[in-house]
Amino acid sequence: MEIKQFKCSKCEKIIEVPYGTPKPETCPHCGAPSTLIHRIDGGGMGMGMGHGRRCGCR
């Protein structure tokens, strides 16, 4: 099973959750809100902004 990694900016701890699980609402270590939790792994396999069908590249 693959995991996503997040880092809490308040306590600097790594939070790991399985893919398909949303970002934690609070840090399980210190209780910081989700606004202080940021993803640190590569992110999803999406193409990102501007890389859809209508990006002007044909």
pLDDT in tens, 48-58: 555 555 555 55
Place of tokens 């099973």: 1
Residue 42: pLDDT band with limits 50, 70, 90: confident
Cα separation, 17 vs 58, in Å, equals 38
Please state the rounded mean pLDDT for residues 25-44: 91
Tokens of 53: 């069908």
> What pLDDT, on a 0 to 100 scale, did the predictor assign at position 17?
95
What's this model's pTM, rounded to 2 decimal places? 0.69
23: left (phi over 0), alpha (psi -120 to 50) or beta: beta
- What distance in Å separates the CA atoms of residue 25 and residue 5, rounded to the nearest whole number? 14
How does residue 46 score in pLDDT terms, banded at 50, 70 and 90? Answer: low
